[in-house]
Amino acid sequence: MKVYLLGSDQRIVRSARVSFAKDTYTDELRDKKLIRYLFKHKHASPFEHNVIAFEGDKNLWFSLLDEENPTIQVYFSKGFIFLNLRNAINLWDKLPEEVKQKIKEGFPTTYEVVKRKGELSDEELKPLPYSRDYAYLKEKVEVSSGWIGLVDKLELDTPMDYYTFVVECPLFVARQWFRHRFGSYNEVSKRYVGKEFLEFYVPPYIRKQAESNKQASIDEPIERSEEFVERIKKLIEESKRLYEEILDSGGAKELARGVLPQFMKTRFYWTVPRISLDNFITLRTHEGAQKEIREFAQAIKEMVGYKGYDKKNVI
């Protein structure tokens, strides 16, 4: 049985630590402790950025679907069964032994944590093998409002090939992005992160509103563009000062963040199957899409291409 993996032990840690904007930080023992903590406390979303694909037929696929647990998500495409590590953990007793062995080789710390149900001491964690990503990013593209990086990809020439990206962009771009639901996200949380991650996008000019499309713009500056850009900069500085004053007075970050404008940047991990990625590219490279997110979609297309699998869907 051929088994393929996307991710590593470190990928789980990175996807969790992005909440604190510390996804570049690594300390092997602390990383292992974090995996144990996430597992024991059912913080499951970081495990979704590791993906397993293995050869199997539809009978094996059906056998993995649990009628008593409708949250289980397992996919079949071109002779391969796909599931993320979160679902694999919830199906642990049903997984073929060859798959478990591959998980042990590819995600060794996580394998032991799952096998022992999280009951490992710090001393038992120390000697465990720990798998790392080869690099923070394989490729990075800068766009006008931020950047996107390709972390990893698992390509088997199916609609369920998987890709992991890191994106840094304004809030209003992220909120449009998260409308694409077939995928996994982990994002910087301003409940955790204060002044240490406080960056903003300022548009070079204010575009005209399109007359024929209520949600689109025309890539031309309005007459008072320069004035409004300067006022936006002042508004950002005023909101930052108020935000920092609230924090310095002992105010909670979860409330203080409310004064920060939509131009504030966020960062998130996105693990997505090819069929959903193609849908994103189709919709977000369209001329009616907002310029800022259109630039990201074009960057993705240039990095990993477009295969047209989204055309299988009517809507």
- Return the CATH number at 32: 3.30.1360.170
> Does 119 share its domain with 215?
no
Residue 170 lies in a domain: yes
Q: Of 100, 125, 150, at which residue does a domain stop? A: 125
Residue 315, domain extent: 135-315
> Does 153 share its domain with 223?
yes
Of 17, 257, 284, 294, which one is the catalytic site residue? 284
Residue 287 lies in a domain: yes
Task: Write down the pLDDT at residue 215.
Answer: 83
Q: Of 96, 125, 154, at which residue does a domain stop? A: 125
> Does 161 share its domain with 291?
yes
Q: Which amino acid is at 104?
A: K
Residue 268 lies in a domain: yes
Task: Write down the pLDDT at residue 68.
Answer: 81
Q: Which amino acid is at 250?
A: G
Q: Which residues contact 276 (CB under 8 A, 6 or more apart)?
A: 180, 182, 183, 310
Q: Which of 108, 119, 140 is nearest to 5 (CA)?
A: 108
Tokens representing 206 are 């204010």
Quickly count: other Cβ atoms within 10 Å of residue 263's Cβ.
19
> Does 235 share its domain with 217?
yes
DSSP designation for 73: -
Q: How many CA atoms lie within 13 A of 37 on its CB side?
A: 11
Residue 198 lies in a domain: yes
> Does 41 share its domain with 184?
no
Q: Of 97, 125, 153, at which residue does a domain stop? A: 125
> Does 114 share its domain with 141?
no
**Residue that the structure tokens 């998500």 belong to:** 73
Q: Which amino acid is at 135?
A: A
Residue 130 lies in a domain: no
Task: Write down the pLDDT at residue 2.
Answer: 98
Task: Write down the pLDDT at residue 212.
Answer: 83
Domains of the chain: total: 2
Residue stretches of the chain with pLDDT short of 70: none
> Does 15 share its domain with 100?
yes
Q: Is 116 a catalytic residue?
A: no
CA–CA separation, 219 and 205 (whole Å): 9
> Does 101 share its domain with 199?
no
> Does 215 share its domain with 297?
yes
Q: Decide: 272 and 162 in contact? Cβ < 8 Å.
A: yes
Quickly count: other Cβ atoms within 10 Å of residue 84's Cβ.
24
| Ranges of H-type helices in 41-193 | 58-64, 85-90, 97-106, 108-115, 122-125, 171-177
> Does 30 share its domain with 178?
no
> Does 164 share its domain with 79?
no
CA–CA separation, 214 and 218 (whole Å): 11
> Does 144 share its domain with 33?
no
Task: Write down the pLDDT at residue 286.
Answer: 94
